[in-house]
Amino acid sequence: MSLIQFLRIFWARRGIILIALVASLSAALLAGRVLPPRYTAQSRVLMDVVKPDPVTGEMISSAFARAYVKTQIELIRDYRIAGRATDLLGWADSPELAAQYRARDPNDTRDFRRWLAQRIMDGTSTQLVEGSNVLEISYSSSNPEIAAQVADAIRRAYVDQAIAFKREDAANNARWFRGQADEIRGRLTQAESRLSNFERANGIVLDQDLIDQESKRLAALSAATPMPTMNMPAVAPTNPMAGQIAEANAAIAAAEKSLGPNNPQLIDLRRRRDALIAAGAAATPRVSGGSSGPSLQALVGSQQAKVLAQRGLVDEARRFASDVAVLREQYQKTSARAVDLEQQAQALDSGLTLLGSATTPTQPTFPNWPLLIFGSAALGLVMGVLVALLAELTARRVRGVEDMRFANVPVLGTMSGASDTGGERPTWRKILGDIRILPLKSAGRA
């Protein structure tokens, strides 16, 4: 259909369009007069989403920040926060609200606190101020003072619950990590007991580098083996290990003050000292006379045989010691994480900053007369046009040559009537046409 056909239809059905327009405007004006005015108060809070955690120092990513903001917007309208806001406002002690609650629908089975919270949730809206991290909490009420009070109460409840959520989550995680740490500590104790029993049963003691005493003694003897030298004049016998033996004695004396007599570390120091004494005694004749080289070589060979004989036991002890080291590292990391979470569970930082207080609104947000009038007028026009088109489709009329062509009726010619004054017809009459309006089927028979 062409634009001229639409204009002819709208002109012919102008009564319907006018009725819809007047009805829409009347309904809007009546609603604006009858319904109570609504006042909206805003309370703002700054979200420190890019601020590092005060305990762990971690920062969240931008993608997580967007999801976090959306979650907070939905969370503000949750019952937990709305219920907390009713507690802060003291609505539970209001006789007027209690009377309204008793007069509610009998099918409403909500308790008083949830009923009050629903009133807050119905009037609350939240949005993020564009281009910022400022979250704006709005509440609408028929009383401007109540609107401001409730907006601030919702913000206070939101901040309190944000702290409670963070502390509760951290406390739950801390309990889990603490339980894991206790479990690992039990396994670590068992592993240390296995290692200690194995070392005691086989006479093997490993140091922090997982080296046994016999291997260390062999290394000491090998280091004490002198290089071949020319015959030198006889000198007074000296012990080349005297300095190291003195250091070992000093270390043993210091360890005995804080360690027990059967402590593996103290036993390790004593065995090391004995190895130094034996190596020094074997090396002394070689230094003085140069004739005891073979006896030192014999000691080295004997010690090598001992090391080779217990290699399997040493490898087994090292495996036990490796298990102990792994479990000890796991226990340290798990305990450290549990401590961090326990600190977070005690923190009072919500990551939110309050930005002033809500001001009492002076102008109502409803009725907004310009928006109400123009909006209702646009709605009435749209509804009138739709109804006019529907009426035209149910009963088509011939309003111009174009409608004849639509019905496949041959048109031999057209005549235009003269105006009443005998002059040329107005342009709008040319457009809208003045042919006799007939039903489309009748026009076809004609």
Residue 209: pLDDT band (50, 70, 90) is confident
Note down the domain range covering 23: 1-35+367-395
CB < 8 Å & 24+ apart, contacts of 201-208: 202/310, 202/313, 202/317, 204/310, 204/313, 204/314, 204/317, 205/264, 205/267, 205/268, 205/271, 206/314, 206/317, 206/318, 206/321, 207/268
Mean pLDDT of 135-153: 93
| Residue of 357 and 206 predicted with greater confidence | 357
d(CA 431, CA 445): 25
> Is 412 within a domain?
yes
271 and 149 within one domain: no
223 and 150 within one domain: no
> Is 184 within a domain?
no
374 and 312 within one domain: no
> Is 350 within a domain?
yes
300 and 284 within one domain: yes
| Residue of 152 and 418 predicted with greater confidence | 152
In this structure, are residues 355 and 158 in contact, taking their beta carbons and an 8 Å threshold? Answer: no
Query: 163-180 in b/e burial notation, b at 16+ Cβ within 10 A?
Result: eeebbeebeebbeebbeb
198 and 155 within one domain: no
Task: Say if residue 140's pLDDT is above 80.
Answer: yes
pLDDT digit string (tens) for 68-98? 888 888 899 899 999 999 999 999 999 999 9
Task: Say if residue 445's pLDDT is above 50.
Answer: no
Helices (H), 35-143: 62-76, 79-89, 95-102, 112-122
> Is 362 within a domain?
no
| Residue of 138 and 262 predicted with greater confidence | 138
Domain limit, last residue, from 329, 355, 381? 355
pLDDT digit string (tens) for 318-344? 888 889 999 999 999 999 999 999 998
Mean pLDDT of 265-286: 73
> Is 198 within a domain?
yes
| Residue of 437 and 182 predicted with greater confidence | 182
Mean pLDDT of 358-379: 87
208 and 334 within one domain: yes
Task: Say if residue 155's pLDDT is above 90.
Answer: yes
- Which amino acid belongs to residue 404? M
pLDDT of the residue at 443: 45
| Residue of 403 and 419 predicted with greater confidence | 403
pLDDT of the residue at 401: 66
> Is 182 within a domain?
no
In this structure, are residues 213 and 314 in contact, taking their beta carbons and an 8 Å threshold? Answer: no
String of DSSP letters for 57-78: -----HHHHHHHHHHHHHHHTS
210 and 303 within one domain: yes
d(CA 341, CA 339): 5
What is the edge-to-edge ordering of all strands in the sheet holding 39-47?
Answer: 124-128, 134-141, 39-47, 352-355
Residue 243: pLDDT band (50, 70, 90) is low
25 and 50 within one domain: no
147 and 223 within one domain: no
> Is 183 within a domain?
no
Count of structural domains, the chain: 4
426 CA to centre of own chain: 71
88 and 208 within one domain: no
210 and 147 within one domain: no
Mean pLDDT of 286-301: 56
Work out the burial of residue 32: count CB atoms within 10 Å of its CB; fewer than 13 is exposed, 13-18 middle, 19 or more buried: middle
> Is 13 within a domain?
yes
443 and 371 within one domain: no
pLDDT of the residue at 292: 45
